[in-house]
Structure 1
Amino acid sequence: MSGLHFLLVPLVAQGHIIPMVDLARLLAARGARVTVVTTPVNAARNSAVVGSARRAGLDVELAEIAFPGPELGLPEGAENLDMVDEEHDLAFFQAVWKMDAPLEEYVRSLPRRPDCLVADACNPWTAALCARHGIPRLVLHCPSAYFLLATHNLSTHGVYGRVADELETFEVPDFPVRAVGNKATFRGFFQWPHKESFQRDVAEAEATADGLLINTFRDIEGVFVDRYAAALGRKTWAIGPTCASGLDDADAKAGRGNRADVDADLVVSWLDARPPSSVLYISFGSIAHLAAKELIQLAGGLEASRRPFVWAIKEARSDADVQAWLAEGFENRVKDRGLLIRGWAPLVTILSHAAVGGFLTHCGWNATLEAIVHGVPALTWPNFSDQFSSERLLVDVLNIGVRSGVKVPAMSLPEEAEGVQVTSAEVEKAVAELMDEGPARTARRARAREIAAKAKAAMEEGGSSYADLTDMIHHVAELSRKN
């Protein structure tokens, strides 16, 4: 495999860059040369992991291209989706689509054409560039195969067009398992007003790709992967969970995706003082934000639960209402058993610690896979898009999750709800269901450990994902030879 040069182009969003950098390490471990092309801000965020890979002898590098955000009115340096508010969301994706020009300039500067470009599914604008230069192109999907197949079937069967409103209930047609929901909880990434052209571009680029990659593994999603591959008629490989490839370097582990806003050693020391499987970790990822009133309800439930917890509470940095509420003394009241991290937390460091026995998660696919890989049962609190599908997979299919009680995205709530779906009493009850000792928890934890073992085995030599990645590399080598 040596001599192959892969160019990886992730969407500039945390949930997409992280698995793409993981994939870079996996390809380099097979002897390929790999370049991850992103913007300066995102290159800086991922320098720790790439630096660790290079110190380990892997041929991985970051290449920086300009982000055209300022041309569309975005602030200078706002180069990641988590740096943009809802008002500028459309302009952000318009800027993403304009990244074709700086990428073209970069490709033309290379001494020879790359053997393959792996593009995030949300970067369909790479298709024309690859066609101009004769570069084989693969598409990487970052959500679950469950979600991909569900939204595909709903579109092809015309369900989205038949429902009267956002909350009308339907069952996903021609699906391997029974899945009931509504448009609000089965919405694709670009199924929003004014983003229809983005959705068309994504579909067209996927249909002409030389193959599809999905960050999942066959033990949990084999039937969904195979059905999706058949529906699209494209060669498809399940090459995950990429997070199971492991990070031996403690600094790289703590800085995966971004530099942590807390000293990881302090977090580890705090966890070391707690009994095994006793701590609940709470994180809502990089984009999802709880309304202040919902966050206060969550805090009330955590306080009433009397259980130790670590909470990545990024709202404490940006929401004045949350800051005012914190000043009233919550942190002091729970100081003996609660650790608050104001910003980005070292997720892998925390989830891999023996003291952690539960994960309250927004069900982003990266976080879902991290929970699976580390054998930690989940308390599910989805916010939008594919996160409700991740919840269904964790709770209904894999039986390693407990629902918090969230029914719809916050934006679908009536105004009088003020953003609150789950009361403090309901939080307390859900935490008890996840963390209380008893037959149900014992069975859930055993199942989580069993799936974690399968996830790691899938990535090792002889495993299904290892074999799929090998086959993909052979496929690229053959395409490169022909070209």
Structure 2
Amino acid sequence: MIDMARMFASHGAKSTIISTPKHSLSFRESVFRDQQSGHSISIEILRSPDDVDISDTDMSATPVTDTSMLEVPLKKLLLQRKPDCIVHDMFHHWAAHAIDNLELDVPRIVFNGNGCFASCVRENISRFKPHETVDSKYEPFVVPGLVDRIELTRSQLPAFQFVADNMQKSKENCYGVLVNSCYELEPAYVEQFKKHNKAWIVGPVSLYNRSIADKADRGKKSAVDEQTILNWLNTKPPNSVLFISFGSVARLAQEQVLEIAHGLQASNQPFIWVIRDVFKGEKTEFLVDLKRR
């Protein structure tokens, strides 16, 4: 969402990023550099009601993040500012209903960061319900209506079906959908998605970050500083280091993390592994030994 707002501003649109006090710290330097370049972009900090603390709320929502405490201050801000257009992340499930009920008569656009393939799969499972035709959660079923034959099992579906339903509902009554993808990546599914949705394919929006400073500012700070990583890389032969990252949305179970760790150790290959603290600070002896590598 931040990259997209900055991209809009670079094309001459006046962009305002709505954020919370803590979350805005992660991108304010990038926005300041854009302002210095003459782009019309700003940050608006949500102010909480007296009885609600939103200072630490992370607006980079995931499917299971509850950000509904932002509804009241967001509605208040929108009524004050009366924007020409509103773009919200589909993972803020409450936002669609809250914005539509304001009766601002302003186009509401949904941002879809999942790409067209995943969206087509989700839409067709919701429409045809093929998972309800099998008896076991491990019995495969075919997702109908797709360009390719895609088999899934119920065990592979999100356990939180209400989230998928809410994501689908967020598109109802919206002006359109912005998708973080590109035609060259998934042409067949871009075409299929656009048959049922008014959509603009605008990604990958992360490519807007061209400078080293912009790239370094993206995301949360690493536990290892940049210079330490560069010094370590300089000790390795060219093209010899693996980079492993499953992105910011994927949530791996502890057992999965340990299996990957065992595989990396057995590979005897130097690597950089970007990983969340899934052990909540409780480091297993095995992972500590792996880190020393």
Tell me which interval the TM-score lies in, with the shorter structure as reference length: 0.7 to 0.9
Which residue identity does 1:215 align to in structure 2? N
Q: 1:54 to 1:270 in 2, by over 3 A?
A: farther
Q: Does 1:192 align with 2:163?
A: no
Q: Hey, which of these two has a bigger chunk of helix by percent?
A: 1
The counterpart of 2:142, out of the listed 162, 171, 181, is 171
For residues 238-263 of structure 1, give each alpha carbon's deviation from its aligned partner in whole angstroms, at most 9, with x where no partner exists.
11111122331x23311202233332
1:140 matched residue in structure 2: 111
- Map 1:291-306; keep pairs closer than 5 Å: 291=254, 293-306=255-268
For residues 372-408 of structure 1, give each alpha carbon's deviation from its aligned partner in whole angstroms, at most 9, with x where no partner exists.
xxxxxxxxxxxxxxxxxxxxxxxxxxxxxxxxxxxxx
- Distance in 1 (alpha carbons) for counterparts of 2:107 and 2:247: 33
Structure 1 vs Structure 2: percent identity of aligned residues?
25
1:31 matched residue in structure 2: 12
Asked if the contact 2:110–2:174 (Cα under 8 Å) also holds between the matched residues in 1, the reply is yes
The counterpart of 2:41, out of the listed 55, 60, 68, is 60
Asked if the contact 1:67–1:79 (Cα under 8 Å) also holds between the matched residues in 2, the reply is no
- Distance in 2 (alpha carbons) for counterparts of 1:213 and 1:300: 39
Asked if the contact 2:21–2:56 (Cα under 8 Å) also holds between the matched residues in 1, the reply is no
Q: 1:114 to 1:171 in 2, by over 3 A?
A: same
- Distance in 2 (alpha carbons) for counterparts of 1:67 and 1:167: 45
The counterpart of 1:256, out of the listed 205, 218, 231, is 218
Q: Does 1:308 align with 2:279?
A: no
For residues 336-355 of structure 1, give each alpha carbon's deviation from its aligned partner in whole angstroms, at most 9, with x where no partner exists.
xxxxxxxxxxxxxxxxxxxx
SS at match of 1:115: coil
Q: CA deviation at 1:225?
A: 1.9
Unpaired stretches in structure 1, ≥5 consecutive residues: 1-19, 335-483
SS at match of 1:132: coil
Which residue identity does 1:115 align to in structure 2? D
- Distance in 1 (alpha carbons) for counterparts of 2:199 and 2:165: 21
Q: 1:210 to 1:216 in 2, by over 3 A?
A: same
SS at match of 1:318: coil
Q: 1:45 to 1:31 in 2, by over 3 A?
A: same
The counterpart of 2:99, out of the listed 129, 134, 138, is 129
Q: 1:81 to 1:284 in 2, by over 3 A?
A: farther
2:122 matched residue in structure 1: 151
Q: CA deviation at 1:22?
A: 0.9
Asked if the contact 1:144–1:215 (Cα under 8 Å) also holds between the matched residues in 2, the reply is yes
The counterpart of 2:234, out of the listed 259, 265, 272, is 272
Q: CA deviation at 1:306?
A: 1.9
- Distance in 2 (alpha carbons) for counterparts of 1:219 and 1:82: 27
Q: CA deviation at 1:314?
A: 3.5
Q: 1:81 to 1:295 in 2, by over 3 A?
A: farther
For residues 315-355 of structure 1, give each alpha carbon's deviation from its aligned partner in whole angstroms, at most 9, with x where no partner exists.
387242x344445x4444x2xxxxxxxxxxxxxxxxxxxxx
Which residue identity does 2:204 align to in structure 1? P
Q: Does 1:118 align with 2:96?
A: no
- Distance in 2 (alpha carbons) for counterparts of 1:221 and 1:243: 17
1:214 matched residue in structure 2: 179
- Distance in 2 (alpha carbons) for counterparts of 1:246 and 1:228: 27
Asked if the contact 1:49–1:253 (Cα under 8 Å) also holds between the matched residues in 2, the reply is no
Q: CA deviation at 1:216?
A: 0.4
Q: CA deviation at 1:294?
A: 4.3
Q: CA deviation at 1:237?
A: 1.0
- Map 1:405-424; keep pairs closer than 5 Å: none
SS at match of 2:273: strand
| Higher mean displacement: 298-307 or 25-34 | 298-307
What TM-score comes out, normalization by structure 2 length? 0.85
For residues 23-64 of structure 1, give each alpha carbon's deviation from its aligned partner in whole angstroms, at most 9, with x where no partner exists.
111111111110111222211122233233223332222212
Q: CA deviation at 1:212?
A: 1.1
Asked if the contact 2:123–2:168 (Cα under 8 Å) also holds between the matched residues in 1, the reply is no
The counterpart of 1:79, out of the listed 54, 57, 66, is 57
Q: 1:61 to 1:298 in 2, by over 3 A?
A: same
- Distance in 2 (alpha carbons) for counterparts of 1:146 and 1:49: 31
Q: 1:173 to 1:326 in 2, by over 3 A?
A: closer
SS at match of 1:265: helix
Q: Does 1:245 align with 2:208?
A: yes
SS at match of 2:160: coil
Q: 1:282 to 1:207 in 2, by over 3 A?
A: same
Q: Does 1:182 align with 2:153?
A: yes
SS at match of 2:43: strand
For residues 59-92 of structure 1, give each alpha carbon's deviation from its aligned partner in whole angstroms, at most 9, with x where no partner exists.
2222121568x85xxx8755238999x9xx5xx5
What TM-score comes out, normalization by structure 1 length? 0.54
Q: CA deviation at 1:200?
A: 4.7
Asked if the contact 2:253–2:278 (Cα under 8 Å) also holds between the matched residues in 1, the reply is no
- Distance in 2 (alpha carbons) for counterparts of 1:263 and 1:54: 27
- Distance in 1 (alpha carbons) for counterparts of 2:127 and 2:276: 39
- Map 1:272-421; keep pairs closer than 5 Å: 272-286=234-248, 288-291=251-254, 293-315=255-277, 318-320=280-282, 322-327=283-288, 329-332=289-292, 334=293
Asked if the contact 2:252–2:278 (Cα under 8 Å) also holds between the matched residues in 1, the reply is no
- Distance in 2 (alpha carbons) for counterparts of 1:139 and 1:235: 10
- Distance in 1 (alpha carbons) for counterparts of 2:29 and 2:156: 35
Q: Provide the aligned length of Structure 1 versus Structure 2.
A: 289
For residues 175-197 of structure 1, give each alpha carbon's deviation from its aligned partner in whole angstroms, at most 9, with x where no partner exists.
1112111123244xxx626xx3x
